[in-house]
Structure 1
Amino acid sequence: MWWASARDAHPRLRELLDEGERARADRLRKPAARALHLTAHALARTVTAAQLGVSTDELTLTAVCKQCGGPHGKPQPPRPLRLSWSHSGERVVVALTLGTDIGVDVERIAPCEQETADRVLAPPERAALAALPSAERPAGFVRYWTRKEALLKSTGDGLAVAPELLHVTAPAAAPRLLSWSGPDRPWLPLHLYDLDAGPGHLAALATVGAPVRPTRHDGSALLAALHTPTDLLAGPVDPILPTAERPLAS
C-alpha cells in the first residue's frame, strides 16, 4: 500500500492522468476534492505502471461492471495485478496485489446522521453502535463503514449490494465478516484488515480468496520525486519494489 496526502497534489501530476481522469478532475468544483482526485489517480497510475514496467502513458485501466457488464465500475490494470484506491479528508491510499482481488477504503472520522446508520448497518451493528459512549460513535460508525466498503470493493460489487446485508465485527473487535445476507455472497473466503490511516481517519483492506501481508510505502515521497529536479534528490526513488517487498499474496 502507498499512502499520500491531498497536500501532495501538484500541477505536474495532471500529466500522469488519462483524458477521462483529467475531465473528471475539471468537473470537481471544490479545490480540496480536485487535490484528492489528482493525488489518488496520479499515485495509482504511477505505482501500477512501475509494477508492470511501462510508462503511465502506456498504462490502460479498464472497468467492467460486475452487475451489467458495462464499461464502468472498479478500474483494473492487466492481470495478474489487481488495484484499489481510496481517498477521504486528507488521506489517499493505493493498494496493489498480484493475483488477489482487493479493496481498500479510507474515511475521515466525522459525525454520522442516525438515518445513515439505520440505512447501512445490520441490526446487530446498530445495537452495538448505540451502546457505545456518544463520543465514540463517529469513529465506531466509520470503522463499520470502512470494513464494509473494503469488502464490497474487493468483490467488485460496490454499492450495488446494500451495505446492511453485510454484518461485520464490532468496532473494537478484530475485523471479520460474520455474515453476508442475500444471493450475492462470494464463494471464496473474504479476508479483512484494519489499517492505520493516521490521525482523524480510519481505513480497512479486504481481499478475496487469499490472505495478504499488508506492507506500507511512502506515496508522498514518490509523488514529490516526480516533480523535483533530479539533482536535488538525495538518491533515486523507484516505485518498483524489490521482489521480496512486492505486494504478493501470502
Structure 2
Amino acid sequence: MDRDGPDQPRVDVWWVDLGGDALTPAVLARLTPAERQRVDAYESPEAALRFAAARIVARAVDKGGTDGTACSLSFAHSGYGLAVAVATGVEVGVDVEAVGPGVRTGDIPVEFCTGEVRRRLAGLADDDARWTAFLRHWVRKEAAAKSAGLGLLLDMASVPMTGSGPGEYRARLPDGRRLRIVDLAVPDGYAAALATAGPAVVTLRRYPWPDGPSSTVP
C-alpha cells in the first residue's frame, strides 16, 4: 500500500454483491434509453442485471476529478459479483472471476501462462485447485491488460509477473511499460485484482445494491 498524500493518485474500488436480484422497474428506470435497449437484447437475465448494475454504479461513483484531474474507469463482473474502479491521476484496470469447487471444469487454457506458471499449476493436487490458482493468476493479467488499454490484444504468456509483497506484483509489458498489480480482498468465492500504471492509494469499499453510496461502508 502506498503512503497517502495530497498529490498521490487514488483508486476507489467499489464491490457490489448483486445477490441474485432481478431487474426491477426501479432499476430499469435508472438506465438511459440506449442502455435499456442493450438490456432487452440480453438472453440471460443474469447478464442483463450485471450490465445494468455496472452502468448504474459507475455513474453513481464516477464524479470526475473535482480539481480537473482526469479519471480512469474500469469495471468487471462474474457471477453476482461486480467491481467498479474509479481512479484519479493514473490509468486503472480491474478484473473479477468466480472461483471455488466446481466453478470451472475441463482443460485450463495454459497457453495464456508463462512456463513458470504452467509448472506451478501442474504441481497442484486436483482440478479445483488448479482452476482456482489459474483464475487468480488470470485476473491479475487481465487487470494489467485493461490498465494498459490492450484488453485481449495483449499476449498474456509474454507478460511475466514478479511478487513485490503479500498480494502485490509487478509486470512489464512487451513495449516496456511497467504496471503494479494488487489482489483485492473481495468476498470468498471470488478472485479480483487491480492494476495501475504507477503508484496509487487504493481503497476498497462496499456498494450496497441497489441503494447507492450514501449508505456505503468502507
Taking structure 2 as the reference length, the TM-score comes to 0.79
1:204 equivalent in structure 2: 193
Please say if residues 6 and 32 of structure 1, whose CA atoms lie closer than 8 Å, have aligned partners that are also in contact.
no
SS of residue paired to 1:215 = strand
- Residue identity in the other structure for 2:119: A
Q: Where does structure 1 differ by over 4 angstroms across 4 or more consecutive aligned residues?
A: none
Q: Give the one of 84, 87, 94 matched to 1:97.
A: 87
1:136 equivalent in structure 2: 129
SS of residue paired to 2:160 = strand
SS of residue paired to 1:214 = strand
Q: 1:173 to 1:113 in 2, by over 3 A?
A: farther
Deviation of 1:130 (Å): 0.9
Deviates more, 1:126-135 or 1:20-29: 20-29
- Residue identity in the other structure for 2:151: G
1:81 equivalent in structure 2: 71
- Trace 1:169-208 onto structure 2 (pairs within 5 A): 169=162, 174-180=167-173, 182=174, 184-186=175-177, 189-208=178-197
Q: 1:5 to 1:204 in 2, by over 3 A?
A: same
2:45 equivalent in structure 1: 31
1:42 equivalent in structure 2: 56
Please say if residues 171 and 179 of structure 2, whose CA atoms lie closer than 8 Å, have aligned partners that are also in contact.
no
Q: Could you list the runs of 5+ residues in structure 2 that have no partner in the other structure?
A: 1-12
Taking structure 1 as the reference length, the TM-score comes to 0.69
SS of residue paired to 2:94 = strand
User: Relative CO higher for 1 or 2, CA cutoff 8 Å, sep ≥ 6?
Assistant: 2
Q: Could you list the runs of 5+ residues in structure 1 that have no partner in the other structure?
A: 54-77, 227-236, 240-244, 246-250
Q: How many residue pairs are counted as aligned between the two chains?
A: 198
Deviation of 1:51 (Å): 4.5
SS of residue paired to 2:201 = coil
1:224 matched to 2:183? The reply is no
**Identity of matched residues, %:** 29
Q: 1:203 to 1:28 in 2, by over 3 A?
A: same
Q: Which has the higher helix share?
A: 1
Please say if residues 129 and 141 of structure 1, whose CA atoms lie closer than 8 Å, have aligned partners that are also in contact.
yes
Q: Which has the higher strand share?
A: 2
CA-atom RMSD in angstroms: 2.8
1:4 equivalent in structure 2: 16
Deviation of 1:178 (Å): 4.8
Give CA deviations for 1:178-199 in whole Å, capped at 9, x if unaligned.
554x4x342xx31110012212
Distance 1:101 1:5 in 2: 25
